[in-house]
Structure 1
Amino acid sequence: MRAAVLREAGHLGVEEIDVPVPGPGEVRVRLRATGVCHTDRTVVEGKMPVPLPMVLGHEGAGVVDAVGGGVTDLAVGDHVVLTITSGCGVCRQCQLGAFALCEVAAPHMLDGRLPNGQRRLTRGAERINHFAMQSSFAEYAVVERRSAVKVPDDVPLDVACLTACGVSTGFGAAVIRAGVGVGETVLVIGAGGVGLAAVLGAVTVGAGRVIVADRSAVACQLAADLGATDIIVGDGDGDGDGDRDGGGDRGGGEDLAARVRALTGGGVDVAIDAVGTAGTAAAAFTALRRGGRAVVIGVADPRAKVSIPLYHLIDQRVLTGSTNGSIRPHVDIPRILDLYRAGRLPLDRLVTRRYPLEGVGQAMAELGVEPGRAVITF
């Protein structure tokens, strides 16, 4: 099968590897579409330590092609989304509902293995590592059954794949982690795919005002088309590559927070940072009203540190983060797609570019340059 294999930093190439065989408790999926995410590019650039060689991709959707022993609730022909939140269901974190923090699965996100510790990718005698427990830049993927979420057959798979990570991350950050309420004012920093999903989440649950900040006027216009009520085209000098740059890392963040507080007469109820630099995270927190909630979901630089005034905590402002929108995948992904099917969540409008697998390099190069989401189709 064809797969995009990273053998050294900066060199992602499509090559032929073996079709994987599912083991007990696993399924094989014939991929039909997979989203292209900034996290993939971060790995290619060598900014995230992973074992090589590795097949990248972590927003896959496709059709079950084979099932391993013990799998009784999925069958060949079922349509599935490959979630990055593969909870075991029984550890303390899963029992508390924090599936993304699963004590069994989460440690394998970057170690090249499936949640059960196995590797199924090979090229002859060579072992190849998995990424995010799925490796969806390939014609086939083998995943643990818990990583495959069954979805309705009438949802286009090039739309459904976005819920594997990006849409779930943004939508869930607004709806689940921040708990945006009817009539609340929301700030979203960064109008890339994840930020736009946060906009859609806030709009869907009835936010009264949704402010979007981004360097790109085109991206801001797309956000407005999706329901944002106010846009701020920022000119900060940040260098974040988490989702998009929405206000800067060295100075621009304070300016953005001041503009938002002036625009709202005191601050927002919820701020979502879909960029993830020290400056944008601080700006999100500073833009809050007293008692507001800031959620950081972008990770432009995992090593960055955020400095905030202590007295803002006394004001009961909250600064937190979220992994994959804090979703319960087998509950929330179908719910998100039901909203799409009902015409209430226009996820298809997020997809602005489609590429063949051989175009994955171009797709990554255009991340943050073109608005919306890129999808690889097979």
Structure 2
Amino acid sequence: MKTRAALFHAVGEPLEVAEIELEEPRPDEVVVRMAAVGICGTDLHQVRGEFRRPTPMVLGHEGAGVVEEVGEAVTMVRPGDEVVLSWAPSCGECAGCRRGRPATCRPLNAAIPNGTLPDGTTRMSYRGETVYRGTATGCLADRVVVTEKVALPLVGALPFDQAALLGCAVLTGVGAVLYAAKVVPDASVVVIGAGGVGQFVVQGARIAGASTIVVCDPVDARLEAARGAGATHVAAPDDLRDLIRSELPDGADYGFDAVGDPATSATALRFTRDGGTTVIVGLPAQGLRLDLDPFELIRKEKLLTGTLYGSQDPAISLPAMLDLVRAGRLDLASTLGPSFPLERVDEAVQASLAGEAGRVLVVP
């Protein structure tokens, strides 16, 4: 079948919207008509050249849409179902998947740098040449073919623009708090970075019952959004040290780096109290390394850990997040930024690169 898709060719070049070939679904696969796709930081790493992956590539892994067609062996969804895409389907066999952490799946993590699906194929082509998939998904397109494990049903009405965020930002940010750090009520939290994922780290801290939530970001609009999400204090990077000294002189119980740069990771660790927990949430550019003072971990007994996709199986965390939305505890609408049609996808990418406070969406 044919579908329009946004092709990333090279750093500095605009994304090209072109009609590509998409192979028909296999027995365990479904065709999803995309309705909304969020521009994620992972996509921006590729656009900036901070990830080195094959091209041309269809970016996009945070999306929602409607099932149009199903293979003969599909049992989990049917045509007409509204679904959220999960970029981490479980293979069911590797160590990560057996312990319920499919984001650490070995076949998946081998596939992502190569721009393929976990089986090593892409099933996409353009003018006879292979087209690669961003984050083993590639959903910046009108349609995408994925296994049924990728298409998670949406139970109950939720606008597609909000539902798309459940595909990555929500599960990553809120999950980092609830599942990776396991923040307890009345705890203190410092969040470095208030972009798309950082806003949901803030909401996760509020949902967990944190009493003090300090957020740091250089963009004023993001800090205002963080206040609305539940931050009790906000600061620009130059003002963070004084704010921590004033409000949390011993440091925060939990520190979260929602950026992923070594400098922001070091900042989150620095402002975590002795015996506290620091979680790296954001992905760093390829090849960067974190310079650690071991005494931060030994003498001060701090715990430093990372989280991927919220440290939980999306098949479990998605229903939990939907319950929070229905209960009015998790707000998706206020986190939305501008939306662009597929033919203006490059404008969407540029808006996100410019630091737009809300999540930028493409609506094919």
- 1:88·1:146 contact (CA, 8 Å) conserved in 2? no
For the aligned residue pairs, the C-alpha RMSD in angstroms reads 1.7
Aligned to 1:189: 192
Match for 2:251 among 250, 260, 267?
A: 267
SS of 2:205's equivalent in the other structure is helix
The correspondence of residues 147-296 of structure 1 with structure 2, limited to 5 A, is 147-235=150-238, 256-257=240-241, 259-296=243-280
For residues 290-329 of structure 1, the C-alpha deviation after alignment (integer angstroms, 9 at most, x for no partner) is: 1111111123423222223222212220111111111211
Structure 1 CA distance for aligned equivalents of residues 108 and 10 of structure 2: 25
TM value normalised by structure 2: 0.94
For residues 318-353 of structure 1, the C-alpha deviation after alignment (integer angstroms, 9 at most, x for no partner) is: 111111111211110121122112211111110021
Cα 1:304–1:127 change in 2 (3 A) is closer
- Is 2:302 the counterpart of 1:317? yes
The correspondence of residues 13-32 of structure 1 with structure 2, limited to 5 A, is 13-32=16-35
The correspondence of residues 127-166 of structure 1 with structure 2, limited to 5 A, is 127-166=130-169
Aligned to 2:282: 298
Moved beyond 6 Å, runs of 4+: none
Deviation at 1:228, TM superposition (A): 0.6
Deviation at 1:157, TM superposition (A): 1.4
Aligned to 1:75: 78
Which shows bigger deviation, 149-158 or 17-26?
A: 17-26
Match for 1:340 among 297, 305, 325?
A: 325
SS of 1:154's equivalent in the other structure is coil
Structure 2 CA distance for aligned equivalents of residues 140 and 110 of structure 1: 22
* Equivalent AA in structure 2 for residue 3 of structure 1: A
For residues 80-122 of structure 1, the C-alpha deviation after alignment (integer angstroms, 9 at most, x for no partner) is: 1111222212321112222110123222123222222222212
The answer for unaligned runs of 5 or more in structure 1 is 236-254
Aligned to 1:244: none
Match for 2:336 among 351, 359, 376?
A: 351
Which shows bigger deviation, 304-313 or 219-228?
A: 304-313
SS of 2:274's equivalent in the other structure is strand
Structure 1 CA distance for aligned equivalents of residues 71 and 248 of structure 2: 55
* Equivalent AA in structure 2 for residue 277 of structure 1: D
The correspondence of residues 96-107 of structure 1 with structure 2, limited to 5 A, is 96-107=99-110
Deviation at 1:234, TM superposition (A): 2.1
Match for 1:42 among 20, 42, 45?
A: 45
- 1:113·1:119 contact (CA, 8 Å) conserved in 2? yes
* Equivalent AA in structure 1 for residue 357 of structure 2: P
- Is 2:325 the counterpart of 1:371? no
TM value normalised by structure 1: 0.90
SS of 1:200's equivalent in the other structure is helix
Deviation at 1:35, TM superposition (A): 0.3
SS of 2:106's equivalent in the other structure is coil
* Equivalent AA in structure 1 for residue 4 of structure 2: R
For residues 32-51 of structure 1, the C-alpha deviation after alignment (integer angstroms, 9 at most, x for no partner) is: 00001122122122221111
Structure 1 CA distance for aligned equivalents of residues 104 and 317 of structure 2: 16
Which shows bigger deviation, 299-308 or 194-203?
A: 299-308
- 2:51·2:285 contact (CA, 8 Å) conserved in 1? no
- 1:155·1:341 contact (CA, 8 Å) conserved in 2? no
Structure 1 CA distance for aligned equivalents of residues 264 and 48 of structure 2: 22
Identical pairs, percent? 38
- 2:191·2:255 contact (CA, 8 Å) conserved in 1? yes
Structure 1 CA distance for aligned equivalents of residues 335 and 146 of structure 2: 26
- 1:114·1:144 contact (CA, 8 Å) conserved in 2? no
- 1:256·1:283 contact (CA, 8 Å) conserved in 2? no
- 1:189·1:213 contact (CA, 8 Å) conserved in 2? yes
SS of 2:135's equivalent in the other structure is coil
SS of 1:301's equivalent in the other structure is coil
Structure 2 CA distance for aligned equivalents of residues 25 and 119 of structure 1: 16
Structure 1 CA distance for aligned equivalents of residues 128 and 156 of structure 2: 37
* Equivalent AA in structure 2 for residue 278 of structure 1: P
Structure 1 CA distance for aligned equivalents of residues 61 and 320 of structure 2: 20
Structure 2 CA distance for aligned equivalents of residues 121 and 57 of structure 1: 14
Which shows bigger deviation, 180-189 or 10-19?
A: 10-19
Match for 1:6 among 2, 5, 8?
A: 8
